[in-house]
Amino acid sequence: MHKREARQPGPYAGLRLLAVHAHPDDESSKGAATTAKYAALGAQVTVATMTGGEAGDILNPALEGSPAAIRDIAGLRREEMAAAARVLGVDHAWVGYVDSGLPDGDFDELLPKGVFYRVPDDVAARPLVELIRRLRPQVVTTYDELGGYPHPDHIKAHIVTMLAVERAADPDANPELGEPWQVQKVYYNQDLSGRKFLAIHERMLADGLESPFAERLDWFAERDRERHTWLSTSVPCGEFIDVRDRALLSHATQIDPNGGFFAGHREAAKKYWPYEEFELALDLTGREPLPHEDFVESDLFADVLYDSGERVPADLLMVRQEVAG
């Protein structure tokens, strides 16, 4: 496991977060500013990457035909991941499964044996059970039941993470993998919601600017109307958005800095939405249940218990910010 360089203790010392992602680069495009912020504040933040990204295409035109990519895409993506982890200031662990790719059709029919999606759930969860018991995170982040979007490895990451959290707490499950540990909270990454882009669109119009979202406004509105997610938690992290972008650019095979993710909509989001959203999926802190309304939290560590049993003090928590308007 790659360990970050030692830092001075910060206000979040003693708090630990494990972010589970499917491929290298996911950690830099989903919740990255939040993980960078917590790491800078002194929390122990670890990214676990379930696959090596071997099936990823070269998405940066500048690297098309790259001998290194053609010869060893897996090795190149490992180097990119190490660079991104350094930028974010997080620890990193490879879980070691093979990228399933994204077939056009039924995953169960088209995916070959041996890829992550095909590994039995109880087998695939074992490395995460060991990691959770060793790292003892109070908070875990992953994807929702739909994988955030329907990629087989994202869906599998959700299934395996939730199973690992359950088994890590069970003293009768896999005792050879370490002492039991109860994760207190699980969150799903939800920072690409339709509601977010609708709000940015309206704020740009109010400033007299042309919105890059106008052509897809109906799609965003429909996505928001039909969403099954709860945007429970909005973490203010504007001061770490540039860190997030630098980490993403570390994945040079996957990111075209002159288009796609870094087109006008990305710059608009940076200015008008300096937050990242999460959905509270599991809460075992013992606090009163949160009202089922959007944006009722601003801190993934809100109300968690330290190892001593003391609750995180209220004056440590980030100030709640209104983001709905």
Q: Report pLDDT digits (tens) over 214-263.
A: 888 898 888 888 888 999 999 999 999 999 989 988 876 766 666 654 55
CATH number at residue 291: 3.40.50.10320
pTM: 0.92
Answer whether residue 2 is part of any domain: no
- With respect to residue 200, please indicate whether it lies within any of the assigned structural domains: no
Confirm if 113 and 69 have CB atoms less than 8 A apart. no
101 within some domain: yes
* Beta carbons of 22 and 143 less than 8 angstroms apart: yes
Residue 94 lies in a domain: yes
Whether residue 79 is predicted with pLDDT greater than 60 in this model: the reply is yes
Q: Which of 23-32, 202-211, 213-222 has the lowest mean pLDDT?
A: 213-222
The helix-helix angle for 241-249 and 32-40 (nearest 10°) equals 110
- Within a domain: 307: yes
Q: What is the DSSP letter of 112?
A: P
Alpha helix locations (H) across the chain?
Answer: 26-29, 32-40, 67-71, 73-88, 107-110, 121-135, 152-168, 194-206, 217-225, 241-249, 264-272
- Structural domain for 111, as ranges: 16-193+229-316
Domain count, the chain: 1
11 falls within a domain: no
Q: Can you tell me the distance from the alpha carbon of 74 to that of 95, in angstroms, rounded to the nearest whole number?
A: 14
Mean pLDDT of 85-95: 97
The verdict on whether residue 26 carries a ligand-binding annotation is: yes
pLDDT score for 324: 52
Please give the share of the chain, as a percent, with pLDDT higher than 70. Answer: 86
Is 140 among the domain residues?
Answer: yes
Following CA atoms 267, 273, 278, 283 in sequence, which dihedral angle do they give, to the nearest 10 degrees? 150
Q: Is 251 annotated as a binding residue?
A: no
